[in-house]
Amino acid sequence: MTEETQGQVERTLVLLKPDAVARGLSGRVLQRFEDAALKIVGTKMKWMDAEFTRRHYADLEERLGSEVYNLTATFMQQGPVIALVLEGYDAIATVRKIVGSTYPDQAPAGTIRGDFSHMSRGASVTVGKAVANLIHASGNREEAAQEVELWFAKDELFDYKTLAESYIY
């Protein structure tokens, strides 16, 4: 985050992946974001089909290869995901801090991945499965804008005031 983008209200996409949903962690994960005064402005549950998975992970195969893409696609299609759009000051960086490192074994205690998962990259390779890391969070403003637009129509996003906003903002 640059100085020019600090302190701005942002929207970001968060996906509670199939492992988070199947393990019944959705409420506990959502609570972490609300505790940080991030506002939920959109939410839905969706089963990702092959075409939608390809659209969401459009650059993954190019960046990390077809094996990583295929493992990720299979993982994301094994159960429903819960998609959220969160809003708040510096929401993208705040969410990523709360979520923790991509590899749960490297995520500090106190982060979602550090507290609820432990899978390492090595374990992923050994078992031939995607890293079960519970959650996806947009990495930057451009990615967040693209992902929010992919997952949500404008009429599925809401503007409203929370009680916390009167104290925090």
- Say how far apart CA 26 and CA 21 lie, in whole Å: 6
Active-site position among 133, 135, 136, 137: 136
Nearest-10 Cα torsion for 105, 108, 112, 113: -10
Q: In the annotation, is 136 catalytic?
A: yes
99 CB neighbour count, 10 Å cutoff = 22
Positions marked catalytic:
136
